[in-house]
Amino acid sequence: MMKKKLLFGALLAGGVVVWKKVGQERAEVSLVGKVAIVTGASAGIGEATAHALARAGATVVLVARRAEELARVAGDLERYDRPMMVCVADVTDDGSLVGLVERVVERFGRIDILVNNAGLSMGGPFAEHDARYMRKMVEVNVYGLLRMTQLVVPIMKRQGGGHIVNVSSVAAILPIAGQTAYASTRMAVIAFSNALRRELMGSGVFVSVVLPGWTKTGMMADMDEDKLRESGLINPLVTVDEAVVPAEAIVDVIRYRRRKMVLGGIQIKMGAFFDLFSTHLVDWLLLATLDRDKSVEVLRDLG
């Protein structure tokens, strides 16, 4: 049995290498003139993604709840001399999303790219999570993403193509104590992306998922990096990225129609790979490398 597992692992690893090589040879897709909706565009990864798309020549539609912050981002995007649109909307409000899609189609006539980036996070002991905030997180991270996509897919199919990028997290593929509820919502994003991609194959609509690791955004604003290192959550094999890193990854998966992009450093990628074969092994490795109590405590400040 062990030999079979090792053989399977070797074949899988070899397949991954070949697949990545093939993926790198795909023709590059131009983003010039593409109409791209970015949710959660008022800060962090969403803001950085808006800049990356505009630099690539796209027409960016900025979506978030905070009007003042959206106006600031829109002002910054003027440097690229590209058309843009600002839409104040709540991804958990159905009427808000329907109106948003209608306004975008009315103004630009099409929707080529949807980046589902809006998200909330929470950490700490699961039993102590605030129930109302936990429900809100599920609504934003899961329902809002599903509903926004549901409204856009028929438009993309009618126009003959499009690309949907869903932002998840490495917490989904290597979930740890202290991120129980948050990791669950991010895993739902991966399952949705995989199922939708298979449903839309041949339609011209592509689906990708990007999994950022630790990223310097508002979610980490209240976290103490020294305590993160003491707990073992951050080490030389785990990266702490600026928001531009996942933003460029989002543009990359659109340019080359990649299915998935995992960030966060080699330890994250190795842990997720090993978890495919032995959850027990990963449990042991996490127990050996993390101070569970310290990590759960420092993750209280994830927000």
Catalytic residues: 182
Radius of gyration of the chain (CA): 19
H helix intervals, the chain? 2-24, 44-55, 67-77, 94-108, 131-138, 145-159, 180-200, 225-231, 244-256, 266-275, 279-289, 292-298
Q: Is 241 helix (H, G, I), strand (E, B) or coil?
A: strand
Residue among 302, 53, 24 at smallest CA distance from 183: 302
Distance CA 148, CA 146 (A): 6
Buried b (16+ CB within 10 A) or exposed e, 26-43: eeeeebeebbbbbbbbbb
Distance CA 258, CA 220 (A): 28
Cα–Cα distances (Å) from 117 to 99, 199, 229, in that order, read: 19, 21, 27
CA 46 from chain centre, in angstroms, equals 10
